[in-house]
Amino acid sequence: MLTLNKITKHYNPGSVNELCLFDGFDFTVQDGEFVAIVGSNGSGKTSLLNIICGSIDVDGGSILVNGRDITQKKDYLRHKNIGRVYQDPSKGTCPHMTILENMSLADQKGRRYGLGRGVNKSRIGFYRELLAELGLGLEEKLHTQVGALSGGQRQAVALLMSTMTPIDFLILDEHTAALDPKTAETIMELTDRIVTEKGVTTVMVTHNLRYAIEYGNRLVMMHEGNIILDAKGEEKEKMRTEEIMDIFNRISVECGN
């Protein structure tokens, strides 16, 4: 279980551009939940993910994983138990290395490194099987540099790599936003299948309201550093895209947009 208690976060403190984004912010994610987070620009969605992953520090409050305080834990240490897929397909993989080399690196996540071969030939068959399950023909491109793949193919590889080793959380940071509509659909279907099969606790930020409705078992809407909607279970299943859009429109009017 992930718990954020009384989180406070200021940007540009002491300057004319100072912004208090979070002020006593609370957020809990239960084991096995697939949470879709939506909200306007500046609502705090990406900052929330960065706080969870340790990419940015907090000014106050605590971050707990299964009751253990990780607030002061460095990001590279947190990432041993967190998989993250970014909006930009160029992130999360090494473009000048082959698919095989990338997967070999991901397979070693959390382990000690030493002097030895980077690729374990006995694992090649396993990697090929994982790629074949994606249904994109990537199992025949093991020796192709990742930088030569399409954005959708790279994102599929990044998604696979992020879940190759046991993790506590999968963080999806608008991971379909840079893809064309058809490819985005494919990646979302792959995402849902992987999350379901592995049962991994997942937090997904998305601007696609339909994805937020169709995928996951919990929907959260944020605005100005606060949660203004939190629907789960049967309540979420009954929600429609039009309802979410109406809330967006009301917020926009209230803000003078």
pLDDT in tens, 58-110: 999 999 999 999 999 999 899 889 999 999 888 889 999 999 999 998 998 86
Mean pLDDT estimate for the chain:
90
9 touches 47 (CB < 8 A): yes
Mean pLDDT of 17-40: 94
- pLDDT reported for residue 184: 92
Instruction: Give me 87's structure tokens.
Output: 């909006």
Question: What is the spatial distance between Cα 93 and Cα 157, in angstroms, rounded to a whole number?
Answer: 8
Instruction: Please provide the distance, in angstroms rounded to a whole number, between the alpha carbons at the two ends of the chain.
Output: 37
- pLDDT reported for residue 148: 95
3-state secondary structure of 206: coil
pTM of the complete model: 0.90
pLDDT at 113 over 80: no
Quick one: which of 255, 254, 231 has its CA closest to 243?
Answer: 231
- pLDDT reported for residue 163: 92
Q: What single-letter DSSP state applies at residue 86?
A: -
94 touches 152 (CB < 8 A): no
Quick one: which of 61, 34, 92, 81 has its CA closest to 211?
Answer: 34
- pLDDT reported for residue 17: 85
Q: What single-letter DSSP state applies at residue 145?
A: B
pLDDT at 255 over 70: no
The position carrying tokens 């299964």 is 66
Quick one: which of 17, 5, 46, 23 has its CA closest to 203?
Answer: 46
- pLDDT reported for residue 233: 87
